[in-house]
Amino acid sequence: MNRFQVFPDLPIGNNHIRPRRLRINENIRSLVQENKLQKTDLILPLFISEKGTKRFDIESLPGVYRTPYDDLINEIDGIKKLGIHAIMLFPVIDISRKDLLGTEAYNPDGLIQNSIRKIKETFPDMIIFVDVALDPYTTHGHDGIINEKGYVLNDETVEVLCKQSLSYAACGVDFVCPSDMMDGRIAAIRTTLDTEGYTGTGILAYSAKYASAFYGPFREAISSGARSLDKKTYQLNPANSREAVREAILDIQEGADMVMVKPGLPYLDIVTRIKSESEVPVVIYQVSGEYAMLKCAAQNNLIDEKAAVLESLLSMKRAGADLIVTYYAKWICENIL
């Protein structure tokens, strides 16, 4: 007997198994809701520009802007008042500070280094995640060091990423977040941090970062000049799933405290697969292209923005995400939560 033959003699209309009983009204629906979105689930990406700059509204990301270093404390104060406890920092530096090797990435007096110190001095309980990669600091826009043929060199890049991570740890960052997808970088960074006494600095690894078409607005936001760059030699093939699980397992074995899937909505199956294999928190990144599409549809009255945003983020929770990096974090706290 299969599960549809438990009461074979009862007509469908008289069957006492009626799942709709749990959907009769809002109070019951809320009572049995399996996944909920909370403010503590959210990590807000924050673009920081250099001293002396002005706020810059990012045209392709409506409602998102570059925060000048001089306005950083006021910005963080507003974020905290909304109930957001975690931010992820990205630098927007002048082209004069960029070079082929990304040396500005580990400048002890660099923009991000100073920003970490400034935030921690005023808001010590704010959880700071910082992106670790070279694309904001290189003239070519790749995430690592390239050779004369334009190929990104793995081990040479990892060496610089260790210096970058160490410089952030020295300023008090909570989590370094390698987003470069180089082989072996988690083990190298973990060893470097531990050797230098920063055993309490965590690592959120971008373990499954795909070579996606959804990153365009982000590259404009940080002025990387990399909108058309081919990063397929180090980012994952969108057609693959086993490869993503393998990357996540390797990163956990190498010392990652959390692992990330990026982008978000097109890769919910990857979140679920990694979640089933992982003993550490799984993070998802609702990337700039996803945000921009929702904003564009909402501005053209094609969707109900509140309903669509909540549905999108709940789908990420349902897939298994513990935390969500989203440009919608402030908006959600103001309009939904």
Pair of tokens at residue 270: 């990857």
Q: What is the pLDDT of residues 72-109, one digit of tens each?
A: 999 999 999 999 999 999 999 999 999 999 999 999 99
pTM for the whole thing?
Answer: 0.93
In a domain, 15, yes or no: no
In a domain, 177, yes or no: yes
Average pLDDT over residues 124-140: 95
Domain count, the chain: 1
Q: Tell me, what CATH number does 204's domain have?
A: 3.20.20.70
Query: Is the per-residue pLDDT at 9 higher than 70?
Result: no
In a domain, 163, yes or no: yes
In a domain, 250, yes or no: yes
Task: Please say if 209 is a catalytic residue.
Answer: yes
* Integer Cα distance of 284 and 248 in angstroms: 13
Q: Which of 98, 231, 262, 295 is catalytic?
A: 262
Q: What is the pLDDT of residues 58-80, one digit of tens each?
A: 999 999 999 999 999 999 999 99
Query: Which residues, including other chains, have CB under 8 Å from residue 18's CB and lie 6 or more apart?
Result: none
Q: Which of 209, 231, 317, 330 is catalytic?
A: 209
- Domain range for 232: 38-335
* Integer Cα distance of 218 and 215 in angstroms: 6
Q: Give the pLDDT confidence score for residue 230 in this predicted structure.
A: 86
In a domain, 319, yes or no: yes
In a domain, 212, yes or no: yes
Q: Give the pLDDT confidence score for residue 222 in this predicted structure.
A: 81
For the ranges 4-18, 19-33, 139-153, the lowest mean pLDDT is seen at 4-18
Task: Please say if 81 is a catalytic residue.
Answer: no
What dihedral do alpha carbons 114, 182, 61, 38 form, nearest 10°? -80
Annotated binding-site residue? 247:
yes
Name the nearest CA neighbour of 262 among 143, 114, 144: 143
In a domain, 2, yes or no: no
In a domain, 326, yes or no: yes
* Integer Cα distance of 154 and 179 in angstroms: 13
* Integer Cα distance of 278 and 273 in angstroms: 9
